[in-house]
């Protein structure tokens, strides 16, 4: 099926259904699926609206108001304040959930996947906070509802629906490192329809943590994002929504390489990125107890990198990448009774890749793959204090083995102030594009890497060219690559021992197998190897996330909130643990003495801090509409690299030392004439100017900023 | 008061052991000459002069440096390209061990005319006080676990000390392109002339930089070894 066919079928279905739905139906009254609740509502955990406290899997919500009063501009700044979430620098600012690298967390925009990852990392700085109503974070696997990538967790950005009436707001923000952000938002809404347009420009001069060497640590860039949201009650029982977004970025950096004569040769590094998404959705109430949601989602992500020698403008490196994603999905929610709710859905995804590294060796054809899936979820409330939620999803893909992913979650409410949650589920991550489709030879180093679907063809071609010395294994005899998968358990709960105090704890264990790694499959005549991808490694992550949230009584006219978060984490490779148990792993001290390392000496996978803590203090002076906010985050030392050949961090210089970063903002709103309002904000990120130049490039020094927001 | 008694006991034990040790060294029995740890620094192992822009292959002579452990000197350098000289030296039994890139060979089996054999122990260098009686192989005799694949292990190039990251003496870290000797690995060998020795690689980079520096010129071995010249397997050092 082609892109066009999917679109035509969907449009036809919506229009056809719309005509049927336009017929007045007797007794069509209140929407039984959505009751009016004043408690925070979330949708990510169950693909349906549900009160946050009644969700059986660990979920966190950040409101737009909280994000604004924090002075946040990009998603990374928001997520870093959440207990248990850490940032992970690898080709962009990624997110680490429950000890997993960024590629294992799914990022959604209104429930649909944001595409465009580099080396597995989806750069959180790409996503603006403006225009969002809330951000929902679900920890633990949700692959039983969302499929691939929802292995460690899901982050869902929910955009605000256009309000009734006319709104216009403008925000200007300027700060250190030439950083500026301007946002213009305009909305108009009636009871049955609403439209909001948003334009955002975000720019920075970049920064340089290593002035001794040529080239910035973070390049200068200019980011534009345009976003449109439309809601329309097309018929009495038909609600249509349309979301669209396009963003582009231009960045300018540079670097120096040592030339043959030992002198530094300077290069310009220019990057260009365009990504877009279009998301029409139609919700149809078939009868009082049934709701059908049909969705089309299209997204594109294109990057272009050019590196040129400064002295003569000669092209040194060029890379183009082009990803298209199209999805059609239908979901039926059936509320059988107050005790039984079933959701069933199915969909089709078509993906197309373009780019230098993915072109077929022989025919220059770009990979295209199709995926079909179906999911089923049933929520059962046997009593007032128990809810059981079971879900499962089946994914079939052209280029890797099909799989079934279940999850079972239980919520207990033994008392009004106590919620207990337990879930066991499976998560999976599809093989990345490079693991399936890469056809790459490093001209400088002489090795080749082939994705699993390209391996046989690549080996055959190298053999025909006489470039192979020895084929180590026959690619024809290999099983298809499997998705990386996990079994995870999350157990925890929330207790409110008194007014204004809530304690949330969650213990987690993720057992991950079939992690994909490269292995040599042939030796080339130049002595280098040809690599393929195989399901090999097993890891586990386990730990505890905890949060204490306190509203100290500060008297009328004031409001205060203190939140303390902590995470203990162990993320370990099973093979390393086995070797440590066998006693064959040693370290070597500067004097040359070799000492045996035991399991207790294992600090885990690189980039994982065993301990991390967050602090949030917020104070509101209500009469003057003033908010002061202080956020802190601390992480214990973590392994960075191996220098002494044992594959793990044990020498002191193999660790990034522990550090703490504090941010503070002061915000005050002033009422202007009629409904108009002005808001002034002063803030500082990284108050104590902490940097780790060689290790944490995303940690620039202290940054001041000031912002002004006007809304009519 | 409680800690006084243990302290006194400790003192007595300490004095006693000192006296015993003093008696030992003044004893009449002749001690065998203690062995020394010998160091070989920056032995070049076919260093590269760049990369071929067409094939990407490293440009080097693709030749071994041959080293004589008994004399503690290079017999034939990888920079020696005269075929006649190379032919003469490589067929001799003077050299014991050879280096080219990360590959290490021994003068025996498929690598040379001698009878040198070797094996890799997962034991710290200092703890190897006696060479094992068996377990040695000559180059070309063994199979190397070069590749663990879903289809089963596939043999790598047959050297006594296997090549490949984590298969032999080194670990390659693709994150920083560092080749680092694995700590706690000791090569034990019987040299071309039949003497036992233990050896450990300290660095693959010129100048043995600490911390190891992947940007330093590579293919320069610094290693230390203990050679027992009397033919016995005793490798005790002073």
The structural domains of chain A, with segments of one domain joined by +, span: 551-712
Cβ contact B17:B219 at 8 Å: no
Total Cβ atoms within 10 A of residue A138: 25
Nearest CA-CA distance, residue A519 and chain B, Å: 7
Distance CA A695, CA B141 (A): 45
- Asked if the Cβ–Cβ distance from B50 to A642 is below 8 Å, we say no
A153-159 vs A105-109, strand pairing mode: parallel
- pLDDT for res A696: 86
- What's CA A498's distance to the chain center, in Å? 35
Distance CA A419, CA A415 (A): 8
Beta bridge partners of A488: A425, A510
Distance CA B124, CA A169 (A): 69
- Give the closest of A446, A519, A590 to B55, CB-based: A446
Positive/negative CA dihedral, A393, A105, A601, B237:
positive
Nearest CA-CA distance, residue A635 and chain B, Å: 23
Residues 6+ apart with CB under 8 A from B138: B106, B108, B109, B110, B111, B115, B116, B117, B160
Distance CA A588, CA A118 (A): 35
- Nearest residue of B to residue A482, measured between CA atoms: B150
A463 touches B at CB < 8 Å: no
A644 touches B at CB < 8 Å: yes
- Asked if the Cβ–Cβ distance from B124 to A590 is below 8 Å, we say no
Judged by CB atoms within 8 Å, which residues 257-276 of A form the interface with B?
260
Collect the ranges in chain A with pLDDT lower than 70: 1-38, 259-260, 359-365, 443-445, 527
DSSP E strands: which ranges in A140-262? 153-159, 165-175, 179-189, 193-204, 220-235, 238-258
The per-residue pLDDT for range B23-54, each reduced to its tens digit, is: 444 445 556 667 899 999 999 999 987 766 55
Q: Quote ipTM for the complex.
A: 0.77
Query: Cβ contacts (< 8 Å) between A643 and chain B: which residues?
Result: 178, 180, 211-212
Cβ contact A510:A104 at 8 Å: no
- pLDDT for res A185: 96
Query: Cβ contacts (< 8 Å) between A434 and chain B: which residues?
Result: none
A472 touches B at CB < 8 Å: yes
Q: What is the pTM of this model?
A: 0.87
- pLDDT for res B201: 95
- Asked if the Cβ–Cβ distance from B55 to A519 is below 8 Å, we say no
Helix (H) or strand (E) holding A99: none
- pLDDT for res A287: 84
Q: What are the structure tokens assigned to A657, written together?
A: 């030392």
Cβ contact A139:A153 at 8 Å: yes
What is the DSSP track for A431-490?
PPHHHHH-EEE-TTT--EEE-TTTHHHHHHHHHHTT-EEEE-S-GGGPPPPPPEEEEEEE
A521 touches B at CB < 8 Å: yes
Cβ-based contacts under 8 A for chains A and B: 110
Nearest CA-CA distance, residue B12 and chain A, Å: 31
- Asked if the Cβ–Cβ distance from B101 to A535 is below 8 Å, we say no
Q: What are the structure tokens assigned to A622, written together?
A: 């209500």
Distance CA A409, CA B31 (A): 73
- pLDDT for res A527: 67
Cβ contact A113:A160 at 8 Å: no
Q: Which residues of B39-57 are buried (b: 16+ CB within 10 A; e: fewer)?
A: ebeebbbbbeeebeeebbb
Nearest CA-CA distance, residue B205 and chain A, Å: 12
8-state DSSP, A209: S
Q: Tens place of pLDDT for every residue, chain B, 238 residues?
A: 344 445 555 555 555 554 444 444 444 555 666 789 999 999 999 998 776 655 556 688 889 999 999 999 999 999 888 888 888 887 888 999 999 988 999 998 888 899 999 999 999 999 999 999 999 999 988 777 555 444 445 556 678 888 877 888 998 887 778 899 999 999 999 998 899 999 999 999 999 998 888 888 999 999 999 999 999 999 998 7
Distance CA A394, CA A378 (A): 15
- pLDDT for res A414: 94
DSSP E strands: which ranges in A314-447? 315-337, 340-355, 368-383, 386-397, 403-415, 418-429, 439-441
Distance CA A571, CA A607 (A): 10
Distance CA A603, CA A609 (A): 8
Beta bridge partners of A139: A153
Nearest CA-CA distance, residue A649 and chain B, Å: 12
- Asked if the Cβ–Cβ distance from A594 to B58 is below 8 Å, we say no
Nearest CA-CA distance, residue B184 and chain A, Å: 5
How deeply is A275 buried, as exposed, middle or buried, from its count of CB atoms within 10 A (0-12, 13-18, 19+)?
buried
A179-189 vs A165-175, strand pairing mode: antiparallel
- pLDDT for res A11: 62
- Nearest residue of B to residue A478, measured between CA atoms: B151
Helix (H) or strand (E) holding B61: none
- pLDDT for res A14: 58
Backbone angles phi, psi at B106, to 5 degrees: -125, 150
A593 touches B at CB < 8 Å: yes
């Amino acid at each position: 099926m082609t892109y066009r066919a999917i679109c035509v079928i969907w449009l036809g279905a919506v229009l056809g259904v719309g005509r049927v739905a336009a017929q007045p139906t007797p007794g069509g009254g209140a929407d039984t699926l959505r009751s009016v609740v004043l408690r925070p509502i979330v949708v990510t955990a169950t693909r349906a609206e549900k009160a946050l406290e009644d969700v059986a899997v660990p979920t966190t919500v950040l409101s737009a108001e909280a994000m604004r009063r924090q002075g946040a501009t990009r998603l990374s700044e928001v997520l870093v304040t959440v207990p248990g979430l850490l940032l992970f620098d690898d080709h962009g600012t990624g997110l680490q959930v429950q000890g997993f690298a960024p590629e294992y967390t799914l990022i959604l925009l209104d429930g649909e996947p944001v595409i465009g990852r580099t080396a597995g990392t989806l750069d959180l700085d790409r996503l603006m906070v403006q225009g969002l109503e809330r951000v929902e974070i679900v920890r633990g696997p949700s692959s039983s509802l969302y499929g691939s990538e929802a292995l460690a967790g899901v982050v869902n950005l929910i955009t605000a629906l256009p309000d009734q009436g006319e709104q216009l707001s403008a925000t200007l923000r300027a700060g250190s490192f030439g950083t500026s952000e301007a946002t213009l938002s305009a909305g108009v809404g009636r009871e049955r329809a609403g439209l909001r347009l948003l334009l955002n420009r975000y720019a920075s001069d970049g920064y340089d943590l290593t002035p001794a060497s040529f080239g910035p640590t973070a390049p200068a860039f200019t980011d534009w994002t345009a976003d449109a949201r439309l809601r329309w009650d097309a018929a009495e029982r038909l609600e249509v929504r349309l979301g669209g977004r396009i963003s582009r970025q231009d960045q300018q950096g540079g670097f120096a390489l040592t030339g043959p004569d030992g002198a530094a040769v300077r290069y310009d590094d220019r990057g260009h990125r365009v990504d877009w998404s279009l998301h029409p959705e139609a919700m149809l109430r078939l009868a009082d107890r049934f709701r059908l949601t049909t969705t089309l989602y299209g997204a594109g992500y294109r990057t272009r990198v050019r590196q040129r020698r400064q002295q003569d403008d000669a092209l040194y490196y060029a890379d183009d990448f082009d990803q298209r994603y199209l999805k059609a999905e239908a979901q039926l929610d059936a509320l059988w009774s107050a005790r039984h709710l079933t959701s069933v859905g199915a969909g089709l995804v078509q993906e197309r890749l373009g780019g230098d590294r993915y072109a077929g060796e022989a025919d220059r054809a770009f990979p295209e793959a199709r995926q079909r899936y179906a999911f089923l979820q049933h929520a059962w409330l046997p009593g007032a204090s128990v809810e059981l939620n079971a879900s499962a999803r089946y994914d079939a893909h052209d280029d890797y083995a099909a799989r079934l992913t279940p999850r079972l979650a239980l919520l207990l409410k033994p008392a009004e102030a106590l919620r207990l949650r337990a879930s066991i589920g499976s998560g999976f991550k599809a093989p990345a594009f490079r693991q399936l489709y890469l056809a790459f030879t490093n001209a400088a180093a002489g090795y080749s890497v082939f994705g699993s679907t390209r391996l046989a063809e690549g080996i055959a071609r190298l053999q025909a060219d006489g470039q192979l010395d020895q084929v180590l294994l026959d690619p024809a005899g290999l099983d298809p690559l499997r998705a990386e998968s996990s079994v995870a358990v999350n157990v925890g709960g929330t207790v409110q021992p008194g007014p204004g105090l809530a304690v949330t704890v969650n213990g987690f264990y993720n057992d991950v197998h079939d992690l994909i790694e490269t292995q040599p499959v042939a030796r080339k005549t130049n002595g280098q190897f040809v690599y393929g991808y195989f399901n090999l490694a097993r890891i586990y992550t386990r730990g505890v996330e905890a949060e204490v949230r306190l509203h100290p009584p500060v008297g009328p006219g004031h409001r205060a909130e203190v939140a303390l978060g902590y995470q203990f984490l162990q993320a370990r490779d099973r093979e390393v643990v086995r070797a440590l148990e066998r006693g064959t792993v040693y370290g070597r001290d500067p004097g040359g003495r070799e000492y045996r390392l035991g399991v207790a000496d294992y600090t885990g996978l690189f980039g994982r801090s065993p301990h991390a803590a967050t602090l949030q203090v917020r104070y509101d002076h209500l009469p003057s509409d003033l908010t002061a906010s202080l956020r802190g985050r601390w992480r214990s030392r973590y392994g960075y690299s191996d220098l002494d050949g044992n594959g793990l961090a044990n020498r002191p210089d193999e660790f990034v030392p522990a550090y703490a970063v504090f941010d503070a903002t002061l915000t005050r709103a002033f009422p202007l004439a009629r409904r108009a309002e002005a808001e002034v904000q002063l803030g500082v990120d990284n108050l104590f100017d902490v940097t780790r130049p060689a290790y944490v490039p995303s940690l620039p020094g202290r940054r001041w900023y000031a912002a002004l927001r006007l809304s009519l | 008061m409680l800690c006084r008694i243990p302290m006194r006991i400790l003192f007595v034990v300490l004095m006693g052991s000192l006296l015993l040790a003093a008696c030992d060294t003044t004893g009449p029995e002749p001690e065998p000459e203690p062995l020394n740890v010998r160091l070989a620094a920056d032995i070049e192992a076919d260093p590269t002069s760049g990369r071929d822009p067409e094939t990407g292959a490293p440009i080097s002579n693709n030749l071994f440096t041959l080293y004589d452990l008994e004399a503690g000197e290079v017999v034939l350098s990888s920079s020696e390209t005269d075929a006649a000289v190379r032919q003469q030296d490589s067929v001799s039994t003077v050299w014991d061990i050879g280096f080219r890139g990360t590959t290490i060979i021994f003068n025996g089996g498929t690598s040379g005319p001698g009878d040198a054999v070797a094996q890799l122990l997962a034991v710290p260098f200092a703890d190897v006080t006696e060479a094992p009686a068996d377990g040695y192989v000559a180059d070309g005799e063994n199979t190397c676990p070069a590749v663990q694949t879903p289809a089963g292990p596939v043999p790598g190039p047959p050297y006594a000390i296997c090549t490949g990251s984590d298969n032999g003496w080194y670990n390659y870290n693709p994150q920083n392109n560092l080749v680092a000797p694995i700590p706690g690995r000791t090569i034990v060998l019987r040299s071309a002339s039949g003497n036992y020795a233990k050896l450990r690689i300290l660095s693959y980079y010129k100048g043995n930089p600490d911390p190891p520096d992947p940007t330093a010129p590579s293919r320069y071995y610094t290693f230390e070894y203990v050679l027992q010249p009397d033919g016995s397997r005793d490798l005790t050092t002073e």
